[in-house]
Amino acid sequence: MFIVSLIARPGGLEPALVSALRNATGGGDVTWLSQGEAAEFPVGVAPSNLEELCASVADQADLNLLPAEGRRKKMLLADMDSTMIEQECIDELAEEAGVGAHVKDITARAMNGELDFEGALTERVALLRDLPEGVIDRVLETRITLMPGGPALVATMKANGAYAALVSGGFTAFTTRVAAMVGFDENRANTLLTDAGRLSGEVGRPILGREAKVQALEEISARLGISEAEVLAVGDGANDLGMLTRAGMGVALHAKPSVQAQCDLRVNHGDLTALLYLQGYARSEFSG
C-alpha cells in the first residue's frame, strides 16, 4: 500500500484537483491534513506514470508517493543553509567582506554539484580573511532568518519522541545558534578559524561535507538504536545527496535541479511543515 501526498501553498490546493488525481490513480478515500494545503489518499500499487503525474501538477502542488507503513520517523537529520534557514551563511559573510557576488556564484555551482565541495569551501573562506569575528554576530542578527515551518517541524517530531540533528557544511558559529533557536538536540558543522579576533581565511580540518553527513546519519542512528529507515533527512544541495538517498525518507527541499533529479521526494511549494504532512501529521497535531 502506498500514500499519494499532495501539498501546496496554503489555500492553493483545490479539492477538484485532489479528486481528479484520486480518480486517475484508483485511489481510496481522501484525508485532508490541512484544508486547502495538504491532502492524501491511499493507492494499492504505485502509479506507473508517477513522474508524468508529478509534472502535470507541478505548478500547483507537490505530488509525492510514499510507503503507507513506517511514515513517522524517529530522527530528523537536517541541513542548515537554505534548508533550516533561508540564507547561505558564507554568502552573507561575503557580503560583509565586499565579495558577495563572487562567493554567491561559487556557492550556487557547488550546491548544484558542479564544483568539488571541499575545494569550493576553502576558496570561499579564504576570501573572508581579516573580517573581524564580530561580523558573525552581526550577520546572525541582521541577515539570517529561519525557514518557515522549521520550529513546528522540530517541535512536533520531538513531541512524538524523535531526535533532531543539524548537520551542515557551514560553520559551528552559526549552527550552534540556529540549533538552539529551533530546538535541535545536536549540531555538527565546520569551524571558522580565527587569529587575534579576525577570521584567518582558513577552515578547521577535516572539512565536513557530503561523506561527513552520511557519517552523522550512521553514527547518530546507531547511537539511538534505530535503523536508517527510521530517519528523515532534508537538504537542498549536492553535498546532501548522500544522506538524502540513504535515509528512510530523504526530502529535497526547494533543492537545486541536480539534487531534485536524484531524489524521490521533493518539496517545492510547501515550507518545512510539508515534512510533517509527508509523515501523515495533520495540522491539528503540530506542536510549537
pLDDT digits (tens, 9 = 90+) for 144-166: 999 999 999 999 999 999 999 99
Neighbours of 108 (CB within 10 A): 15
- CA 149 from centre of chain: 11
- Count of residues in the chain: 288
- The mean per-residue pLDDT over the stretch 195-214 comes to 95
Mean of the pLDDT values across residues 224-252?
97
Looking at residue 288, its pLDDT comes to 76
Residue 129 has pLDDT above 80, yes or no: yes
Q: Positive or negative, the Cα torsion across 221, 166, 111, 190? A: negative
Is the entire prediction scored with pTM above 0.85?
A: yes
Confidence grade of residue 267 (pLDDT, cut at 50, 70, 90): very high
| Cα radius of gyration (the chain) | 20
Q: Which amino acid is it at 83?
A: T
What's the whole-number mean pLDDT along residues 70-97? 96
- Take residue 131 and report the three cell numbers written for it: 573580517
Residues 231-251, mean pLDDT to the nearest whole number: 97
Answer yes or no: are the C-beta atoms of 70 and 230 closer than 8 Å.
yes
pLDDT in the model for residue 71:
97
Active-site residue set = 79, 81
C-alpha cell at 239: 553535498
> Minimal CA–CA distance to 244: which of 167, 133, 129, 143?
167
Hey, what long-range contacts does 41-47 have (CB within 8 A, 24 or more apart)?
A: 41/3, 41/4, 42/1, 42/2, 42/3, 42/4, 42/68, 43/1, 43/2, 43/3, 43/4, 44/1, 44/2, 45/2, 46/2, 47/4
Strands 38-43 and 2-7: antiparallel
pLDDT given at position 205: 94
Mean pLDDT across the chain, nearest whole number?
A: 96
Mean pLDDT within 168-176: 96
